[in-house]
Structure 1
Amino acid sequence: MPYAIDPPDELANAVQQIALTSSDADYIDQLVPVLRDVRRSDRANRLVQSLDALAARREAEIEKMCNSNHQEFVSSVNALLRVREGTVELTSDILNLNQSIQASTEKLAEQKKALVESRGVRQNIDEANRALESCLEVLRLANQVHDLLAKKKHYAALRALDELQNVHLREVARYKIADIIEKSVPATQKMIGDAVMADLNTWLYRIREASQYLGEVAFYHTDMRRTRLKERMDKDSNMTKFRLNSAIDLVADEADEFDILNNEETETQVDFSPLFECIHIHETLGQIDRFRHEYAATRKSQKDLVIPDSVRLLDEDEADLSSLLESIAGFAIVEKATMRKMHNFRAPADVDELWQSMCQRTITLITKALPAVNDDEKLLKIKSRIALFIQTMDSWGYNVASLNALLLKIFDKYAQLLKQRFSEDFQEIVSTDDYMPMPINSIDEYDKVVNVSWYTPEKSREELEFPCVLPFSQMYPLCCIDIRNFLNQIYLFSDEHFQRSAIIDDTLRDSLDELLSEKVCQSLVDRLSSQYPGQIVQILTNLGHFEIACSELQSLLYEARSNKSGGSAEIELHATEKFKEGKKMAEKRIFELVNSKIDDLIEIAEYDWTASTPLTVPSNYIQELTQYLSVNMDSVLLGLPTEIKELVYFDALSHAATMILALPLDLNVKSISAAAVKTLSNDVQHLSQFVESLGNPILDENLDELRQTVMLMGSENAEEEFFDVAQRNRKFGKVDNMNGAVLLEKVQQGAAVPVQSPTRTADRFANIGSRFGLNR
């Protein structure tokens, strides 16, 4: 039969399943799920309709079955009625159950809705809690950055900020606080940079303040190295070839390690941690180039603060100069240490530029203050401090060429002051000398004089008897002392700290030449104008010893140069030639004085050329002449060397003979009597006897012309003997032809009889003159 309801749906299927159940339990089990979903009335109605449709189908089936089998049908109808009745009851129960389930379902839905709502709130609360915790962690880290900054832990603060930015802020990126903190990161980074720069500036200030002490420690270390090098030189002569900071010295000094920057003994400790931290932080911030430029500018400005506007060189112990050099040394050492500890941070060109700038400024200050220094000892101390500074900085690899040039300027000043001082000393010694042979009263005094003088005694030390006299005057050993002092003081500048030995040698040579030539030799030569032969003789003796001293000095300077530089060029002092020339001038002056005295004595000769009776005793002038020559040679000229003394004798006798011979040749003498000739002959004989007593045949030869001329004047056959060439050469070979002819004429004029006419006399002289080719 046709269906009375709509086509089956899911409820119909459910009802079909319920109908097919084999037991009540299964029926209930199939019904419960359907009733659980029946919440609305339409679905309940549809369920009822489905059940009704099922019942109708079942009735149709039963009716069909009943048509074929009535009894069975009746039974089935009865059964069906019972089923229907049960179905109605069941339907009622289902409806009741449905209402009950619907009521409980609504309640459950409300509870579930409340539960869902509470779970949403709880989830929101949890999410809010987690977000709050994340934000609090971010805030904690942000505060931690500032706490670390307050504790001066700059790198830790930067690491915390980096962690905050790259990790924690990403976790809270959706919250506004992340944006706020993200925007504050650059400011915080700047705060870290400023804080670390502030600490670095404090460190730089402390370093600048400690630079002087650091330089003082460096100077102390260099001085100790000098001492060790000197000890090695004393033990091994081969070490004298090597200077401080040479490779050999550095190797030999390796055992004595000394860390200037960190040393417990000197209590120095330069901690570069602030700089390391600052560099690391700026590298992390990507600002290392900017920091490098800022650091360079800061050090440049600090360099200007290290060097003052002026320096005093006249203060006691060179405190001002030492402070300046120590400060520069400490500053430069920190720069070099920074460059060595942090590669590629400080450029070598920048460090060298700073160093050269400080050197030039220092050189300018010292050069400006140098003219005020007029004490050579003070200059020596200044040089010593600068040399120590040079050696210290050379050991750190700095270029010290400009400072070596400064030492040359100081040396020039030093040499000028020494030359001025010793020039004054020499002038005083020369002007206050007594120009007498130096008396010696004891062997100790003798040893002192010989040790300081370049003098080789004629007698051995054991043969001397005191008191005695030395040939030179007191000025000679005093000048020798000054010369030695001058040498020593010049060489005081030349030590292992000043590598310009050739310049010192040249300066020493030139200075000695000037002092000896101008201040000693010239002063002695100027005194040759004296009228005292004894003083001239002493000057000549002193000049001779100074000449010897110059030769010794040349050898001494040559040895000193060879020992220092290995040079082989000979050293020549021009003063040696000056002293030789001075000796010649002194000898000439002695000759002049002796001859002048001889001229004075001979000028007082009073010959009566027309006398009729000869004098039986020598004339007064000839006696005084021989006495002068004897006394002068034995006393005044005693100090002359033998060869000089013989030359003086020779020249004096030659001059005396010439002057005596000039007396009868005087134009005012017209005639000479035989008595006058005899008187002249007696005087010449007296002079000859004096010369013979000297025991020198050479001196006696000086009188040959005078003796032969006087013999010619007194000869009876003078005319025949003189005009006969053979006899003249044999007896009168030394007589001048003209002088002989003139004197023979005067003698004949004096011997002529009164009746003799002037005409005949003139004719006779003319004949004599014509025989010798003379014109009257």
Structure 2
Amino acid sequence: MEQDYNALSQEFQKILLTSSAAVGSNALGKEEIDINGDVSDKLITSTHTDLYVEVTELDSPDFDKWVPFLRNSIEKGQLNTVIDELETSIDDNFNHVEYELLHDSQLNDNLESSITAISGIQSTIQHELLDEITSFQDQLNESTNKLIAKKQLYVNNKKTSLKIAEARIIMNKVVRLLELSSNCQNLIQERSFFKALQSLDTLERMYLQEFKDTNFDFLKEFYNSVPLLKSVIEDECINLIKNSFNSNLGKNLVDVGKHVFDAYEKELLPAWIERKSSMKLYSNFNFNSPAEVSTRDQAVLERITSEHFFNLDEFHDAIMIFEKLNELPYLISEFEKEYEFRKTKIIHPLLWKKTTTTNANSIPGDISMDAFTKQMNLDFFTDYFAKIMGFLLYDINLNNATEYLLVNNNQNATNEFWKGLMNRICQYLKYFLNNMLIEENDLVKFKDLLAIFICMLENYKLNTEPLYEILVSVFEQYCTLKINHFNKEFTDLLNEDDFMPLTVNSRQLYEKVIKVCWLTNDKQLHDTVMKNNQGSDEFSVILPFSPLYPMTCTIVKKLYNDITKFTFELYRHDLAQLNKIVIGYMESTNEVVNKMIRDKLDSTSREEISQILINLDYFIIGAKEMSNYMTKENILKNPDIEIRLSAIKSFTESRKMAETKLIQLIDSKISDILETVNFEWNSKEIRQDPDITIIDVGQFLEMMFASTLVNLPYSVQTLLIFREFDSLARKVLEILLNDTPSHISQESVHNFGVDINYLQGIIPRIFAFLRDDSNGNNAALTPVTPSTPTFSGPNMEANPTTLFENNIKSLEETFTELNQCIELLKTQDPQAYADSETRMKKFSRIKNEEAKLLLNKVRIMTPATPAEDGRFDGNRQSTPDERDSSLELNTNRLASFFNRR
């Protein structure tokens, strides 16, 4: 401050010095001038007015330069200091001026003249200015008092305004608190619970910060109501969840499940079948396989997502609210209780937990009296599975959306519920399958329903093993039903079969029969049929098997196709087991066929047994071809798997039984005929013709091989011819050795030889008939099978004469022993047999004891008129009368012994 003052005085001094430059030394001289600006009395009273004016007059610009300094000094209260400084400066700067002024006469004159004027000025200042100053001072005091009063009033008003502002702020906060409370209640009513909780938190925080130490009782009531409102929010959140259960877990669950079922069954499955066909994929890419899932239409999948059916906003709000309240365990506890109750209602009428009360009339473990059992049918299970599927989708979506928080982070919660439910429901499904599903269409519908349900469960990673086992049981039940239908159908076919070769008069029907019987590659049969129908407008062919065989092939193929079609697309697991089931049921089918055909072997009709034998030849072919067909079309679609039905062996064994049965019947009939033969061992007459009973035997054999056994394979016919003639020769020899009297006549021996020659003469005629058939008359009737090789093939065509001649010679050898016995009886010479050379040449087949027995029976022959050579001419033609009488007699006799059809 002091430096400022010094600077100010120095500047002011310079201005003064500059202002006084106009006043020369001659003006004032060196007379002393009052530093304070007062002119001495001497000057004032002086008459030198002009000099005064000249000395005291200052230019306005110079005076203006003083004003800022003077004003500044006055404002700062430094005027006295400035005066002191000026005086000091005058003393320092004007020491010699006074002297000069005093010696300047002109100046002195001017000073004297100005003293009077100065005196007047002083008087004016003392009187007028002082009055004005006094007046100004009074006004100033009055103004100051007024200012002080107004200031006091202003201060008071300002305090009041501050209090009012403070009151306004407090009132605004109170209003805000009231608004929060009101808003919270409104939000609770609007079910915006999380926002209501936020309002409560703000209200609580605001009260604690602003009004905790106040005495506003009504605000305390609001604050005290916060816990109650929080409790209300908790209760309302729980009620909201319950209401959400009501809306999401009600009847709409069935609709949700049906939407998903329809999407799988009516959109995804048909689309896959069409895509699979167009892409020519392997059949083992079934529905719901990874290949199928990867190609599904995403638009369809999008329509069946859980978000389209369920709204879970309430759970998100509840979790946030209870987390904020630190009451999440309470929410979980309440959720579990309510959710358990909802599960119980959803699976009704199935009991989630076993009750302690049981029906007094029900057997322990018996579910037939359960409420669930009483409602079971296909429509019920359709709705029930849809409801369960809808709930599972809801449960999965809820757990995923809440990050498994409501189930205590148990990520297997849905599967655990489903396993528990499945363990309960499976026993009812088994009961329903075993006791209520008896129609084929119902089994197909139930299979489709259960299989689609399993596909959906698999897609949501839920356990399906018990259900798939039931699905396999459904397949087995279907197979059993189809087998039962097959058994009934085959029984009807068997009972209606005429056991006669099948006559076909239509080319289309013939081609259809050949195709269904797997005979399309039988070139020999085809060529023979074409040859026999060449040049004829009418088509006709007689096939060796009866209608039973092609119709059985048809229903067997249909059975297999129906069984495999049942597993189409929807059976994806354990295909090896399914393949075994299919093979087992097809084996059982063939066993049924084989058993029923075997039962027919009890028949006493040779024609029927003969036709059964022929049919069995073709059933062996059918079993082999069916094995090949099943190998190619197996469920596994694995070409490396070879299937060989055991029915091939069973049919082969039955065929052997049929051969044996046919032989037994023929043997029995021949034995019966031989019992009627009377050889008259003591006859005294010589016959040229065979006995009528022997003619019966021969005609029986001819007629049997020409009609009854004509359709048999040539190998079987040959076998039977050898078998029967061998049996006939042995039986006749047995009669000769053991059933003849101790002595027989030579006439009877001769007659016996005639009878044997007749029987031998039948052999060429039988083979001649077979030879004619082999040349084309019966070729179409001869089956070509591995088990019964026919000689109508290349070997027979190459040299048929030699083959028949060899067969005739072989067959005639069956009478060699018998002929040697007759020759020995005719010789009557024991020495002829005793001679080793003769014996080996003529009697090599006769044993010593037999020779002795025969020779002892011979007695001396009575002379008679024998034939020229003593032998019967088997080729001699009978007269018409003899032939007619013989045939009539034979017909009557045969009718009495055979049951001809």
Band of TM-score, shorter chain: 0.7 to 0.9
Distance 1:542 1:516, change over 3 A: same
- Residue 126 of structure 1, CA deviation: 6.0
- Residue 633 of structure 1, CA deviation: 0.6
* Structure 1 counterpart SS, 2:604: coil
Structure 2 equivalent of residue 770 of structure 1? none
- Residue 404 of structure 1, CA deviation: 0.9
Structure 1 contact 530–536 (Cα < 8 Å) conserved = yes
Q: Match for 1:145 among 184, 188, 191? A: 184
Structure 2 equivalent of residue 423 of structure 1? 487
TM-score for the superposition, normalised by structure 1: 0.76
- Residue 313 of structure 1, CA deviation: 8.7
* Structure 2 counterpart SS, 1:703: helix
Structure 1 equivalent of residue 399 of structure 2? 339
Deviations 1:600-623 (A, max 9, x none): 221111122122221111111221
Structure 2 equivalent of residue 61 of structure 1? none
Deviations 1:524-557 (A, max 9, x none): 2222222110011111112222122111222222
Structure 2 contact 499–612 (Cα < 8 Å) conserved = yes
Aligned equivalents of 1:630 and 1:239: distance in 2?
Answer: 60
Distance 1:577 1:246, change over 3 A: closer
Structure 2 equivalent of residue 721 of structure 1? 832
Structure 1 contact 312–369 (Cα < 8 Å) conserved = no
Structure 1 equivalent of residue 618 of structure 2? 545
Aligned equivalents of 1:311 and 1:479: distance in 2?
Answer: 40
Distance 1:603 1:239, change over 3 A: closer
Higher relative contact order (Cα pairs below 8 Å, separated by 6+ residues): 2
- Residue 595 of structure 1, CA deviation: 1.1
* Match status 1:181 vs 2:222: yes
* Match status 1:740 vs 2:842: no
- Residue 153 of structure 1, CA deviation: 2.0
* Match status 1:218 vs 2:260: yes
Distance 1:438 1:463, change over 3 A: same
* Partner AA of 1:481 in structure 2: T
Structure 2 equivalent of residue 502 of structure 1? 576
Structure 1 contact 494–501 (Cα < 8 Å) conserved = no
Within 5 Å, which residues of 2 pair with 1:294-693? 294-309=334-349, 310=372, 315=377, 318-345=378-405, 346=407, 347-370=410-433, 371-455=435-519, 458-460=524-526, 462-463=530-531, 465=533, 466-499=539-572, 500-517=574-591, 519-561=592-634, 564=636, 566=638, 568-693=640-765
Structure 1 contact 311–320 (Cα < 8 Å) conserved = no
Deviations 1:335-361 (A, max 9, x none): 222233332425322221112123233
* Partner AA of 1:536 in structure 2: I
- Residue 240 of structure 1, CA deviation: 4.1
* Partner AA of 2:511 in structure 1: D
Structure 2 equivalent of residue 250 of structure 1? 293
Aligned equivalents of 2:461 and 2:414: distance in 1?
Answer: 11
- Residue 123 of structure 1, CA deviation: 7.0
Deviations 1:139-194 (A, max 9, x none): 22111111112222222222222222223553222233343223221221222222
Structure 1 equivalent of residue 104 of structure 2? none
Deviations 1:82-133 (A, max 9, x none): xxxxxxxxxxxxxxxxxxx9xx99xx99x99999999988877665554444
* Structure 1 counterpart SS, 2:601: helix
* Partner AA of 1:666 in structure 2: N
* Partner AA of 1:228 in structure 2: A
- Residue 656 of structure 1, CA deviation: 0.9
Structure 1 contact 131–172 (Cα < 8 Å) conserved = no
* Match status 1:731 vs 2:839: no
* Structure 2 counterpart SS, 1:529: coil
* Structure 1 counterpart SS, 2:570: coil
Higher helix proportion (structure 1 or 2): 1
Structure 1 equivalent of residue 328 of structure 2? 288
Consecutive unaligned residues of structure 1, counting only runs of 5 or more, are 1-100, 754-776
Moved more, 637-646 or 687-696: 687-696
Deviations 1:250-278 (A, max 9, x none): 33336546324569xxx944332222222
Distance 1:242 1:516, change over 3 A: closer
* Structure 1 counterpart SS, 2:301: coil
Structure 2 equivalent of residue 134 of structure 1? 173
* Partner AA of 2:248 in structure 1: I
Structure 2 contact 501–544 (Cα < 8 Å) conserved = yes
Structure 1 contact 262–269 (Cα < 8 Å) conserved = yes
- Residue 643 of structure 1, CA deviation: 0.8
Aligned equivalents of 1:178 and 1:462: distance in 2?
Answer: 116
Structure 2 contact 238–331 (Cα < 8 Å) conserved = no
Indicate the RMSD between aligned Cα atoms, in angstroms.
3.1
* Match status 1:233 vs 2:262: no
* Partner AA of 1:165 in structure 2: E
Aligned equivalents of 2:848 and 2:495: distance in 1?
Answer: 52
Consecutive unaligned residues of structure 2, counting only runs of 5 or more, are 1-141, 350-371, 534-538, 768-803, 864-901
Structure 1 contact 307–362 (Cα < 8 Å) conserved = no
Aligned equivalents of 1:621 and 1:382: distance in 2?
Answer: 70
Distance 1:292 1:495, change over 3 A: farther
* Structure 1 counterpart SS, 2:542: strand
Deviations 1:228-265 (A, max 9, x none): 322332233346453444443333336546324569xx
* Structure 2 counterpart SS, 1:469: strand
- Residue 413 of structure 1, CA deviation: 2.2
Deviations 1:482-503 (A, max 9, x none): 2112212221232221123222
Aligned equivalents of 1:654 and 1:206: distance in 2?
Answer: 93
Aligned equivalents of 2:549 and 2:340: distance in 1?
Answer: 59
Q: Match for 1:275 among 290, 315, 318? A: 315
